[in-house]
Chains A and B, each alone.
Chain A
Amino acid sequence: MAAAINMIIQASHLTKQFKSVRRKEGVLGTLATLFSHDYEFKDAVTDVSFDLEPGELVGYIGPNGAGKSTTIKMLTGILVPTSGHCTVNGIVPWQDRQANGRGIGVVFGQRTQLYWDLPLVESFRLLKAIYGVSQASYDRHLKKFSELLGLDEFMRTPVRQLSLGQRMRGDFAAAMMHEPAVVFLDEPTIGLDVVAKEAIRNFIASVNKERGTTFILTTHDLNDVEKLCARIILIDHGRKLYDGSIDAIKKRYGPNRLLTADFLTDAAGVDIRMPGVAVLERDGQRIRLEFERERVRADELIVALSRQADLKDVTIAEPELETIIRQIYERGLDRSGPAPQ
Chain B
Amino acid sequence: MADAGARHWSAYREFWRLNFLTLMEYKVNFFIWLAFTIVYHGVALGAIWIMMSRFPSMNGWHWQQVFFLYALYMLGHTLNNTFFFTIGEVPDLVREGRFDRLLVRPLDPLFQVLSQPGQIWPDELVIALIVFILAQGAVHLQWSSSTVVLLVLATLGGAYIDFAIQLIIATLSFWVVRLDALRWVVMSLENDFTRYPLSIYNRAVRIMLAYVFPFAFMNYFPATVLLHKSAEVGYTFNPQLGWLTPVVGAVWFAAAYSFWRLGLNKYQGTGS
Contacts and interface: CB of A to CB of B under 8 A. Distances in A.
Interface of A: 18, 44, 65, 67, 69-70, 73, 76-80, 97-102, 104, 106, 108, 111, 113, 115, 117-118, 122, 125-126, 129-132, 158
A281 B6 CA distance: 69
Contact of B106 (A73, A99, A113, A158): A99
B103 A97 contact: yes
A208 B109 CA distance: 30
B7 interface: yes
Given A101-B105, A101-B106, A131-B7, A79 B98 contact: no
Given A44-B272, A101-B106, A73 B18 contact: no
Interface of B: 3-4, 6-7, 10-11, 13-15, 18, 21-22, 25-26, 96-98, 100-101, 103-109, 117, 265, 267-269, 272
Nearest to A18: B268
A115 B115 CA distance: 12
B104 A117 contact: no
Contact of A118 (B18, B103, B268): B18
Contacts of A79: 267-269
A254 to B, nearest CB: 29
A78 B103 contact: yes
Given A115-B117, A130-B11, A108 B25 contact: no
Contact of A126 (B11, B101, B269, B272): B11
13 contacts: A69-B272, A77-B104, A78-B269, A97-B104, A98-B107, A101-B107, A104-B104, A117-B22, A126-B18, A130-B7, A130-B106, A131-B7, A132-B3
Contacts of A113: 101
B221 to A, nearest CB: 36
Contacts of B107: 98, 101, 130
Contacts of A67: 272
A158 B7 contact: no
A69 B14 CA distance: 31
Given A104-B104, A132-B6, A117 B11 contact: no
A101 B107 CA distance: 8
Nearest to A105: B104
Contacts of B103: 76-78, 97, 101
Contacts of A117: 22, 25-26, 117
The 7 closest A-B pairs by CB, nearest first: A101-B106, A129-B10, A129-B14, A102-B106, A132-B7, A98-B106, A129-B11
A106 B97 CA distance: 14
A117 B6 CA distance: 26
A78 B268 CA distance: 8
Contact of B10 (A100, A118, A132): A132
A79 B264 CA distance: 10
Nearest to A73: B269
Contacts of A76: 103-104
A104 B100 CA distance: 14
A113 to B, nearest CB: 5
B272 A118 contact: no
Contacts of A122: 18, 21
Contacts of A99: 106
Contacts of B269: 73, 78-79
Contacts of B7: 129-132
A46 B186 CA distance: 42
Contact of B25 (A18, A77, A118, A125): A118
B14, B98, B106, B108: residue with the most chain A Cβ atoms closer than 10 Å: B106
B151 to A, nearest CB: 34
Given A44-B272, A67-B272, A129-B10, A108 B106 contact: no
Nearest to A42: B272
A130 B104 CA distance: 12
A100 B11 CA distance: 18
A168 to B, nearest CB: 16
B13 A129 contact: yes
B6, B26, B100, B272: residue with the most chain A Cβ atoms closer than 10 Å: B272
B18 A115 contact: yes
Contacts of A98: 4, 106-108
Contacts of B106: 97-102, 130-131
Contacts of B108: 98
A80 B103 CA distance: 12
Nearest to A125: B14
A157 to B, nearest CB: 12
A78 B105 CA distance: 10
Contacts of B26: 117
A108 B21 contact: no
A18 B269 CA distance: 10
A101 B4 contact: no
Contacts of B267: 78-79
